[in-house]
Chain A
Amino acid sequence: MTISAVRIHPDDNVACLLQDLDKGARPRLVEMAAPPLTSAVPMGHKVALVNIGAGAPVVKFGSVIGHATCAIGPGDHVHLHNLKGAPP
Chain B
Amino acid sequence: MSLPEAFAGYPRPTGRPGIRNRLVIVSMCGLNGPGARKVAAALPGAVLISSSYGRGQLGADKEFHRRMLAAFGTHPNAGAVVVLAADADMRASLQSRIEASGRPVAGFSLQEAEEDSGRLVAEAIEAGRRFQADLANQPRSSCDIRDLVLAVECGHSDASSGIAANPLVGDLVDALVAAGGAAVIAETMEWLGTEADLRARSATPEVASRLQDLIAARHAIARQAGRDVRLGNPGPQNHSGGITTLEEKSLGAISKGGTSTIVAALAEGEAISGPGLHLMDTPALSPESISSMVAGGAQIVIFTTGHGNPYGSAMAPTLKVTANPATARRLPQQIDFDASRAFTGAMSRAELVPGLATLVGQTCDGRATAAEQLDECDEVISRLGPSI
Q: Can you spell out 22 A-B residue pairs with CB atoms less than 8 angstroms apart?
A: A3-B345, A4-B345, A6-B164, A6-B342, A9-B167, A28-B345, A42-B242, A43-B242, A60-B251, A61-B167, A61-B252, A62-B259, A64-B197, A65-B247, A66-B245, A66-B248, A78-B244, A83-B245, A85-B248, A86-B245, A88-B228, A88-B231
Q: Which residues of A contact B163 (CB under 8 A)?
A: 6, 8, 16, 18, 44
B235-261 Cβ-contact flags toward A at 8 Å (1 or 0) = 000010110111110011001000100
CB of A63 within 8 A of CB of B251, answer yes
Taking a contact as CB atoms under 8 Å apart, the answer to whether A85 and B246 are in contact is: yes
Of all chain B residues, the one with the shortest Cβ separation from A28 is B345
- In the complex, the chain A residue whose C-beta lies closest to that of B251 is A61
**Most chain A beta-carbon neighbours within 10 Å: one of B163, B244, B255, B346:** B244
Instruction: Give 17 A-B pairs besides A9-B259, A18-B163, A65-B244 with Cβ atoms closer than 8 angstroms.
Output: A2-B344, A3-B345, A6-B163, A6-B164, A6-B349, A43-B242, A61-B167, A61-B251, A61-B252, A64-B247, A66-B244, A80-B244, A85-B244, A85-B248, A86-B245, A86-B246, A88-B246
Is the interface on chain A under 10, 10 to 19, 20 to 34, or 35 or more residues? 20 to 34
Which B residue's beta carbon lies closest to that of A30?
A: B348
Give the complex CA separation of A64 and B196 in angstroms. Answer: 10
Q: For residue B130, which residues in chain A have a CB less than 8 angstroms away from its CB?
A: none
For residue B197, which residue of chain A has the nearest CB? A63
Measured between C-beta atoms, what is the minimum distance from B348 to chain A in Å? 5
From A41, which residue of chain B is reached at the shortest CB distance?
B242
A4, A62, A64, A79: the one within 8 Å of B244 (CB): A79
Is there contact, CB below 8 Å, between A63 and B247? yes
Residues in A with CB closer than 8 Å to B255 are 8, 61
Of the four ranges (under 10, 10 to 19, 20 to 34, 35 or more), the interface on chain B belongs to 20 to 34
Residues of A within 8 A of B252 (CB): 61
A46 to B259, CA, bound (A): 21
CB distance from B177 to the nearest CB of A (A): 16
B230:A88 contact, CB within 8 angstroms: yes
> Contact at B251–A18, with CB atoms within 8 Å?
no
Is A84 in contact with chain B by the CB < 8 A criterion?
yes
Min CB–CB distance A64 → chain B (angstroms):
7
B interface, by DSSP: helix, strand, loop or mixed? helix
**B242 and A60 contact, CB distance less than 8 A:** no
Q: A2-B346, A63-B194 are in contact. Are A85 and B159 (CB under 8 A)?
A: no
Q: A62-B259, A64-B247, A86-B247 are contacts. A44–B242 as well, Cβ < 8 Å? A: yes
Find out whether the CB atom of B247 lies under 8 angstroms from the CB atom of A85.
yes
Interface residue? A19 (CB, 8 A) = yes
Counting chain A CB atoms within 10 Å of each CB, which of B167, B239, B241, B242 scores highest? B242
Q: Is the CB of A45 closer than 8 A to any CB of chain B?
A: yes
CA–CA, A63 and B257, complex, Å: 14
> Is B343 an interface residue when CB atoms closer than 8 A count as contact?
yes
Per the bound structure, the CA–CA distance linking A45 and B259 in Å amounts to 23
- In the bound complex, residues from chain B placing their C-beta under 8 Å from that of A17 are 242
A84 to B230, CA, bound (A): 14
A residues 1-35 near B (Cβ < 8 Å) are: 2-6, 8-9, 16-19, 28, 30
Residue B193 CB within 8 A of the other chain: yes
Contact of B345 among A9, A19, A83, A84 (CB under 8 A): A19
A62 CA to B171 CA in the complex, in Å? 13
- Determine the distance from Cα of A77 to Cα of B308 in the docked complex, in whole angstroms: 29
